[in-house]
Amino acid sequence: MDNEVFKQNLEGESIRPGGPVIIQMLFKGPVAMPGKEQMAAAMARHLGSVECICHDEKTAGFAALEHVAKFSDGTAPVQLMVTGCLDFEGSKFDSFSISQMWDCREERERILCECRYQVVAMDMLAAALPALERTKVDMDFLGALAELYPDCKAVYFQSCGKLFSMDDLRSFQGEGPDRFIRFGVNVRLFNIQGTKDMLVDTVGMGTLFLPDLQYHFHDMDPNQVVSHAYDLASYILENDNPIQDGETVDSVRDGRMCPELQWSCRYERALIQPPREVLDVHMGEYASGSGRQATL
């Protein structure tokens, strides 16, 4: 599947900045909604004070009382919603989306085939929080979900297109912004057919009203570019995006950040779908041309 040819398509709907973080928990068999008290206790362990706002077999919702969103007409605590068990059809994923599920490359087809049920979780009102606070809420919410659903086999993050086995998710030891960057931001890699060019970009930063990244390059190890993208995305999140149009960032040499040589940055429209604004990192001698057509 990774050798399949895809076409550039920027005619679809643009990503809506600040949209909800939607987490699809995947199961081989049907699963019951945990009890109200059990859910409240797990949410409180991970998120602090919570209040149950609804609970039945179809929907459960909790207000995270320690995380208050501010609006022009008032304030309200963030709400965390969980559906009951729903059908899941992995066959509905197109090959383009599957090709970028790098984190479980060896397992992705099996997971999408074997998992027939899902529980969908999402945050509400969280877009009004500062980006760092929102990432903490969402990742703490994920921790509560992992505790409440021990039979979960995999998790799909809809806003970025990442698929993880639950074993990999539970074993991750990172903290702070790196947790969200690991799960909520997808660094994608494309080879441009008929050339030596490659393109690395991210999807998922727009959920936080932050820019996704883009690198169009040749003659560099793409793994180094992918690592640079994750590091830069984490820096942008942790510092509320201090990078202005035309400013520079450290380059990478031999797998390490290189402050002696700077790469310039410009805000542009993405070369690869979905349509969105990206921070394009011009990689100096490794940068490729600015043509807008691509066969991947």
| pLDDT tens readout for residues 77-94 | 999 999 999 999 999 999
Where does a domain end: 165, 182, 199?
Answer: 182
Q: Is 180 helix (H, G, I), strand (E, B) or coil?
A: helix
Backbone angles phi, psi at 279, to 5 degrees: -95, 105
Is omega for the bond preceding 150 within 30 degrees of 0, making it cis?
no
In a domain, 8, yes or no: no
Nearby residues of 73 by Cβ (< 8 Å), 6 or more positions away:
none
- Cβ(173)–Cβ(158) under 8 Å? no
| 281 pLDDT higher than 50 | yes
Residues 93 and 191 in one domain: no
The tens digit of pLDDT for each residue in 18-43 reads 999 999 999 999 999 999 999 999 99
Q: Which of 118, 150, 182 is the last residue of a domain?
A: 182
Question: Does the residue 12 lie in any domain?
Answer: no
Tell whether 254 is covered by a domain: yes
Q: What is the pLDDT of residue 285?
A: 93
Q: 1 or 103, which is more confident? A: 103
Q: Residue 16: what pLDDT?
A: 77
209 within a domain of the structure (yes/no): yes
Q: Strand 277-282 vs strand 212-217: parallel, antiparallel, or unpaired?
A: parallel
Rounded to whole angstroms, what are the CA distances from 169 to 32, 82, 86, 180? Answer: 22, 19, 22, 12
Do residues 43 and 141 share a domain?
yes
pLDDT digits (tens, 9 = 90+) for 117-146: 999 999 999 999 999 999 999 999 999 999
Identify the domain containing residue 92 by its residue range.
22-182
The pLDDT, as a whole number, for residue 13 is: 64
Quick one: three-class SS letters along 74-127?
EEEEEEEEEECCEECCHHHCCHHHHHCCHHHCCCHHHHHHHCCEEEEEEEECHH
pLDDT of res. 151: 97
Claim to verify: residue 189 and residue 253 sit in the same structural domain:
yes
Q: Are residues 224 and 155 in the same domain?
A: no
Structural domain contains residue 6? no
Average pLDDT score, the chain: 92
Give the count of beta carbons closer than 10 Å to the beta carbon of residue 119.
Answer: 23
Whether 2 maps to a domain, the answer reads: no
Neighbours of 33 (CB within 10 A): 19
Among candidate residues 117, 147, 182, the one where a domain is terminated: 182
Pair (202, 262) in one structural domain: yes
Query: 118 and 78, same structural domain?
Result: yes
The confidence band for 4, taking pLDDT boundaries of 50, 70 and 90, is low
* 3-state class (DSSP) for residue 46: helix
Residues 51 and 138 reside in one and the same domain: yes
Do 262 and 172 fall within a single domain? no
pLDDT top residue among 196 and 279: 279
63 & 175 share domain: yes
Say what the pLDDT of residue 294 is. Answer: 42
Answer whether residue 10 is part of any domain. no
Does one domain contain both 42 and 69?
A: yes
Question: Domain tally for the chain?
Answer: 2
* pLDDT tens digit sequence for 156-191: 999 999 999 999 999 998 888 889 999 999 999 999
Residue 150 resides in a domain = yes
CA distances from 44 to 9, 39, 196 (A): 44, 9, 51
In this predicted structure, what is the pLDDT of residue 10? Answer: 65
Alpha-carbon distance of 132 to 176, in angstroms, equals: 8
